[in-house]
Amino acid sequence: MLDFITWTASPNLYSGFLTVRWYGLMFAIGFLFGYEVVYRIFKHEGAPEKWVGTLFIYVVVATIVGARLGHVFFYAWDYYSQHLTEIPKVWEGGLASHGGVLAILIALLFYSHYVTHRSPLWVLDRIVVPVGLVAALIRLGNLMNHEIYGGPTDLPWGFAFISNINDVMRGAEPVFTAPCHPTQLYEALSYLLIFGVCMWMYWRRNLQERPGLIFGTFMLGIFVPRFFIEYVKNVQEPWELAMRATWGIDQGQLLSIPFIVLGVWLVVRALRRPREPLTYPDRFPDEEPRKGK
């Protein structure tokens, strides 16, 4: 039995005239899957079909812009404040999930006001249903990139990652870390679990009839595991070591706390209010009703 796993996967799925990276592929698959699930949800409830395409644009733009600005302002402002022209260079790496979530929330406030004219909780309860799987796929992309891994461990599932992966991609010999916690997999598994829970809540229990309950559960299912996994994850920036020593938490944990509080408040609020029964025509408004409907 192996004492640990030597991880030698290449970040590139295909290298040639056009380089295809695992991370980008996982990102794209996740968003396409999410689009399909939300499409079915909107059709199930008889929402206008055009809302889906508009929502997709809002979410994709907010995710990329928010995740990039989250990294810039939450983790590396000292550097980027002196190199402003490098802020748009998303392709060089540097994304923060907390920034992406915050930007999506802001974008959906505008989407609700200008497109659906409904409560923001209406779209939030529905859009988060597939997001757990999207987040899990992105973490698998991080695994393929040999990034966002944890500290040393002697557990049999520890991974020895390539610490100089960018140099290896340019032809250098790999330098392996000590066996480390594969925190990308820890997070991916927890996100898959909340994906299953949200799918069950929507499709089996119709808990979208309690506004805010699915969204609140999602926030808890994402950020509570994230908070505890941070204890075995390497910090993203060196200055977080002093933060850990002083406060016992790092920046990722600090940023998770408001989302956890929001999740608790939404769940309690939803359970205290009466259920709001909905109708499910299973067609878009401009489609002919099915026979028997």
Measured CA to CA, the distance from residue 236 to residue 149 in angstroms comes to 10
> Is the pTM value of this prediction over 0.95?
no
| pLDDT above 90 (res 104) | yes
What tens digit of pLDDT does each residue of 149-199 get? Answer: 999 999 999 999 999 998 998 889 999 999 999 999 999 999 999 999 999
Answer for the pair 218, 128: CB distance below 8 angstroms, yes or no: yes
266: exposed, middle or buried (Cβ count in 10 Å: 0-12, 13-18, 19+): buried
Residue 55, classed as helix, strand or coil, is helix
Measured CA to CA, the distance from residue 143 to residue 23 in angstroms comes to 9
Domains of the chain, by residue range, sit at 21-272
DSSP β-bridge partners for residue 39? none
Residue 288's pLDDT is: 65
Measured CA to CA, the distance from residue 48 to residue 34 in angstroms comes to 17
Phi, psi of 14 (to 5 degrees): -145, 135
Rounded to an integer, the average pLDDT of 261-273 is: 98
Answer for the pair 98, 219: CB distance below 8 angstroms, yes or no: no
Residue 74, classed as helix, strand or coil, is helix
Rounded to an integer, the average pLDDT of 262-282 is: 96
Give the total residue count for the chain: 293
